[in-house]
């Protein structure tokens, strides 16, 4: 609070993407470190769905999977099937899902490369924001 009826606050925004495409899911997909056999098989699934609905011209536009939805699905499968141990899979909702992503980030730090060059602009932005006094 600044004065009787005046408030001062900072507002900042950083749009996360990879080469001007995608969002956070795309970024995480780019910096993954583990083999992604299960998640990568989803590309064939997406192609199959697209081919199936292309033959049905009336509904094809309603059923095509967006890149954002696909990247979310890919990331979910990468975490659950490509990086979780059989023990963790017994508690998949808690240990292998986007719903508890904080657990994943704290306990599976090796599944993403946080030194990847694609993160450089985000790191510079966060440094700038955290060190600005205005």
Average pLDDT over residues 48-76: 81
Statement: residue 60 has pLDDT above 60:
no
For 20-28, the CB contacts below 8 A with 24+ separation are 21/67, 22/67, 22/68, 22/71, 23/68, 23/71, 25/68, 25/71, 25/72, 25/74, 25/75, 26/67, 26/71, 27/118, 27/119, 28/75, 28/112
Across 33-53, average pLDDT: 93
* Token pair belonging to 129: 């924001």
**Does residue 22 contact residue 67 with C-beta atoms inside 8 Å?**
yes
Taking 80 as the threshold, does the pLDDT of residue 5 lie above it?
Answer: no
Among 29-43, 55-69, 92-106, whose mean pLDDT is lowest? Answer: 55-69
Q: Output the pLDDT for position 53.
A: 78
Residues 50-58 have a mean pLDDT of 74
């Amino acid at each position: 609070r600044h004065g009787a009826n005046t408030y001062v606050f900072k507002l900042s925004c950083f749009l996360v993407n990879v080469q001007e495409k995608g969002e956070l899911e795309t970024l995480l997909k780019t910096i993954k470190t583990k083999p992604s056999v299960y998640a990568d098989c989803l590309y064939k699934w997406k192609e199959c769905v697209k081919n199936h609905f292309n033959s049905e011209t009336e509904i094809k536009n309603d059923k095509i999977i967006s890149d954002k939805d696909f990247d979310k699905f890919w990331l979910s499968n990468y975490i659950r099937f490509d990086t979780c141990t059989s023990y963790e899979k017994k508690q998949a909702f808690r240990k292998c899902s986007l719903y508890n992503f904080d657990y994943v980030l704290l306990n599976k730090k090796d599944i993403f490369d946080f030194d990847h060059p694609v993160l450089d602009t985000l790191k510079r932005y966060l440094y700038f924001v955290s060190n600005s006094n205005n």
